[in-house]
Chains A and B, each alone.
Chain A
Amino acid sequence: MRLSELSQGADAVVREVENVVDGDPIARRLRDYGFVRGEPVRLVGRGPIGADPLLVQIGFTRFALRRAEAARVIVESVP
Chain B
Amino acid sequence: MIEAVVSLRLALVGNPNCGKTALFNQLTGGRQKVANYAGVTVERKEGRFSGPSGRTFQLIDLPGAYSLEAASPDEVITRDVCLGHFPGETAPDAIVCVADATNLRLHLRFVLEVRRLGRPMVLALNMMDAARKRGIEIDVAKLEEALGIPVVETVAVRRGGAAALAARLDGELPPAVVVDANSDLHAEVRALLADAVSMPRRTAEIDDALDRFFLHPVLGLGVLAVIMFLIFQAVFSWAEPLMEGIEAGVGLVGAWVGSGLASMPMLQSLVVDGIFAGVGGVLVFLPQILILFLFILALEESGYLPRAAFLLDRLMLKAGLTGRSFIPLLSSFACAIPGIMATRSIQDPRDRLTTILIAPLMTCSARLPVYALLIAAFIPDQTVAGIFNLQGIVLFSLYVAGIVSALAVAWVIKLIRRDKSEHALLMELPSYRIPHPRDIAIGLWERANIFLKRVGGIILSLTIILWFLSTFPGAPEAATEPAINYSFAGMLGRWLHVLFEPIGFNWQISIALVPGLAAREVAVSSLATVYALSGHEEGLQAIVAAQWSMATAFSLLAWYVFAPMCLSTLATVRRETNSWRQVWIMAGYLFALAYLASFLTYQITRAFGA
Residue from B71, B310, B424 within 8 A of A55 (CB atoms): B310
Provide the residues of chain A in CB contact with B103, threshold 8 Å.
Answer: 59-61
Q: Is the interface of A mostly helix, strand, loop or mixed?
A: mixed
Q: CA of A16 to CA of B257 in the docked complex: distance in angstroms? A: 72
Please give me the residue from chain B that is nearest to A21 by CB atom.
Answer: B421
When chains A and B are docked, how far (Å) is the Cα of A52 from the Cα of B309?
12
Asked if B199 is at the interface (CB within 8 A of a chain A CB), the reply is: yes
**A45, B202: Cβ atoms closer than 8 Å:** no
Q: Specify which of B67, B69, B109, B310 is in contact with A47 (CB 8 Å cutoff).
A: B310
CB <8 Å contact, A29 and B310: no
Bound-complex Cα distance A57 to B314 (A): 20
Task: Let me know if B67 and A50 touch, CB within 8 A.
Answer: no
Q: Across chains A and B, which 9 residue pairs bring their CB atoms closest together, nearest first?
A: A59-B105, A48-B217, A49-B314, A32-B67, A62-B429, A64-B427, A64-B310, A36-B186, A66-B425
Chain A: CB-nearest residue to B187: A36
Cβ of A63: which chain B residues have Cβ within 8 Å of it?
A: 426-429
**Docked-complex contact B313 and A53, CB < 8 angstroms:** yes
Q: Report how many residues on chain B are interfacial, defined by Cβ distance under 8 Å.
A: 38
Residues of A close to B69: CB separation below 8 A:
28, 32
Which chain B residues (98-112) contact chain A, with CB distance < 8 Å? Answer: 102-106, 109
Confirm or deny: B317 has a beta carbon within 8 angstroms of a beta carbon on chain A. yes
Q: Would you list 25 pairs from A and B whose C-beta atoms are within 8 A, ordered by A residue?
A: A20-B422, A25-B71, A25-B421, A26-B424, A29-B71, A29-B426, A30-B426, A32-B66, A32-B67, A33-B426, A45-B211, A47-B313, A48-B221, A52-B313, A53-B310, A53-B313, A55-B211, A57-B203, A60-B103, A60-B104, A62-B429, A63-B428, A64-B309, A64-B310, A68-B422
CA of A36 to CA of B190 in the docked complex: distance in angstroms?
A: 11
Which positions 31-59 of chain A face chain B at CB distance < 8 Å? 32-34, 36, 39, 44-45, 47-50, 52-53, 55, 57, 59
A61 to chain B, nearest CB (A): 5
Tell me, rounded to whole Å, the shortest Cβ–Cβ distance linking A57 to chain B: 7
Shortest distance between the CB of A43 and any CB in chain B (Å) = 13
- Are A48 and B220 within 8 A (Cβ)? yes
Determine the distance from Cα of A29 to Cα of B421 in the docked complex, in whole angstroms: 15
Q: Say whether B426 contacts A28, CB under 8 Å.
A: no
Q: Is B92's CB within 8 Å of the partner chain A?
A: no
Since A62-B429, A64-B426 are in contact, a sample of 20 more A-B pairs with Cβ atoms closer than 8 Å, ordered by chain A residue number, is: A26-B424, A29-B424, A34-B186, A47-B310, A47-B313, A48-B218, A50-B314, A52-B314, A60-B103, A60-B199, A61-B105, A61-B106, A61-B428, A63-B426, A63-B428, A64-B306, A64-B425, A64-B427, A66-B317, A66-B425
